[in-house]
Amino acid sequence: MSGIDLSVFPARQIRDAIASGEFSAREAADAAYERIDALDSDVHAFLQLTPELAYAAADRIDALRAAGEDLPSLAGVPAGIKDNMNLVGTRTTCASRILGDYESVYDCTAVRRLLDAGALPIGKCNMDEFAFGSSTENSAYGPTRNPWDLDRVPGGSSGGSAAVVAAGMASISLGSDTGGSIRQPGALTGTVGLKPTYGRVSRYGIVAFGSSLDQIGPFGRTVEDVALTLEAIAGEDAMDATSSPEPVERYSEALGIGAKGLRVGVVRDMLAAEGCGEEIRAVVDQAAETFAALGAEVGSVDLPNAKHGLAAYYIIGPAEASSNLARFDGIRYGHRAAEATDVLDLYMRSRAEGFGPESIRRIMLGTYALSAGYYDAYYGQAQKARTRIIEDFRAAFERFDILLTPTTPEVAFRFGEKVDDPYTMYLNDYYTIPVNLAGNCAVSVPSGLCTTTGMPMGLQIIGDYFAESTLLRAAAAFEEATGFDSVPPLVKALGVAKGGE
Amino acid sequence: MAITESDVRHVAMLARLALTDEQVTTLTAELGSVLGHIDELQRLDLTGVQPTAHPLAMTNRMRADVIVPGLSREAALSNAPESDGMAFLIPTITGAGEES
């Protein structure tokens, strides 16, 4: 037994403990796999475990330490990776049958940078197939369960990445966020989830969903862990022409200076949306009071076009997805239908056999919206609505440094509750989608537990383009004032071993 | 604009998906429901608004014209359902009828 409990050890303390010789990187990896042995048969957060890679990385860290070298920022920190990111030595399945046997042949830049910073790749995390969904129920390999209540979903699409952090099976993880797929599972599992500004993190090596919307980002138990991870993965990349040359800041050093003087805008019109629970609304009002008490200037703002975000997104997202998923044709990789009579037959049956129901739905919706006769009415109109949403945010950020909304309209729901009507599932991303359409940054921070369900709730803090330092500074101030206990009862029942706090 | 089964079959051909009759029926209802929800966009007056295709104003990103290693043929073929070690193998492509 390693005797290390990752649920109470932030990333920086793991690195420092390894640097000071308190324990080794191998023992940090042991701690992750012990927790996985204890819990993952119930939680099912991992699709593949990669102990060979993790222990090889740990040995490199331990050798650096033995040689008296400086350790990198995430040295020995156990990390989970969403299964839509390539890493040589792992399969990259996107939780789809069509890529069931796909072996990565190159590395995703963000993953490579995470590992270069010393993190240990513990395994690949479950997700909704091709990141289509908000519950992981669309995984071809079975859903992930929420560590706070195994009868409830962990959110999605990065539900596995959220659950591994919530359950202490890794300290940090990478997810991807196209319409809320990091922030929504962050809120539902009591973890911190950041969607960086579009272009802040390279998209090279992630299997594309919506190319103008996708962004890789971190999950952590603390804002500082998320800041450290962002520092490691952010920055320009020659392999992604949409990655930004904007300099990477020392996000972790912007924390701990409070919220005094920050201009905080509560997004009033979105808060009044139908379907938003009373207690969830109260989260935002309480957060506004918290920020005021910390010396921030709190005001109200409206984003009148943001309510059309959901409709615009369900045109633009599927349109881009239908184009991106055209590459799965049974020719170069992935599932190929048996005994095809000709190439058209091979395409059509390989795709129909390989894609799950939600993928087929999105491909159909996107293809329809882009087809002759409907393009202007749907896709063109959605692109114009997108412009209006961007203008709303521009105006809001002239008056405010950060904006507040709930992350989700409700807490984690039960399995099967929303599978009959796809649109009820889509509504889960009402608050998160406008940020993907505009391309700025946002983070979900745990705000407390719902009194009726005991499930975590999340506050969404929205920042301006490339304003991650301000965003995370505000998030850290809120986190400190809230004092949320991020350890779920399931983990507490295991008995806490050696902690770092 | 209500979507019909015939629309769904046409779109399935465009998307290269061999759907069963049952899937066509289900998708007609599901897509109809989703399109009903997003029809609000049709009612917005967005005349004169510039469309946004991409959130950041980035144009003509150039890189130095130098040769860097790419994917090896072996790696590129390693996930192929069928290959001869030199190329991807596919069924015959001549004589295949196809709707446009």
Q: What is the pLDDT of residues A411-434, one digit of tens each?
A: 999 999 988 888 888 889 999 999
Instruction: Assess contact for A140 and A157: CB atoms under 8 A.
Output: no
Angle at A222 between CA A219 and CA A228, to 5 degrees: 70
Chain centre to alpha carbon of residue A71: 27
Region of residue A190 (left: phi > 0; alpha: psi -120 to 50; beta: else) = left
B84, amino acid identity: D
User: Within chain A, which residues score under 70 in pLDDT?
Assistant: 1, 496-501
How far apart are the C-alpha atoms of A235 and A249, rounded to whole Å? 9
**A157 included as an active-site residue:** yes
Cβ of B50 under 8 Å from any chain A Cβ? yes
Instruction: Kindly list the distances between the CA atom of residue A90 and the CA atoms of A85, A107, A202, A413, A444, in Å, as whole numbers in the listed order.
Output: 10, 10, 20, 32, 29
Which of A105, A333, A423 is opposite residue B37, by nearest beta carbon?
Answer: A423
pLDDT of residue A352: 98
Per the annotation, the verdict on A212 as an active-site residue is no
Q: B86 at the A interface (CB within 8 A)?
A: no
pLDDT digits (tens, 9 = 90+) for B25-80: 999 999 999 999 999 999 999 999 999 998 888 888 888 899 989 999 999 999 99
Domains identified in chain A and CATH numbers: 6-305+389-492 (3.90.1300.10)
Residues in chain B with CB shorter than 8 Å from the CB of A315 are 38, 41
Q: What share of chain A is helix, strand, coil (3-state, %, to 5)?
A: 45, 15, 40
pLDDT, position A501: 42
CA gap A221, A479 in Å, rounded: 11
Q: Kindly report, residue by residue over A43-78, the tens digit of the pLDDT.
A: 999 999 999 999 999 999 999 999 999 999 999 999
Dump strand ranges (E) for chain B. none
What is the interface pTM, i.e. ipTM, of the complex? 0.92
Question: What are chain B's domains?
Answer: 5-43 (1.10.20)
Distance from CA of A321 to the nearest CA of B (A): 11
The counts of H helices and E strands in chain B are: 3, 0
**Structure token pair of residue A374:** 């409907």
* B6/A contact by beta carbon, under 8 A: no
- Does the annotation mark A181 as catalytic? yes
The rounded distance, in Å, linking the Cα atoms of A253 and A250 is 6
Residue of A nearest to B96 (CA): A342
Residue to mutate among A364, A384, A390, A419, with most B CBs inside 10 A, is A364
Q: Which residues of A touch B15 (CB under 8 A)?
A: 322, 351, 363-364, 367
Tens digits of per-residue pLDDT, A304-317? 999 999 999 999 99
Selecting among A24, A82, A135, A161, the annotated active-site residue is A82
Quick check: B29 contacting A, CB < 8 Å? no
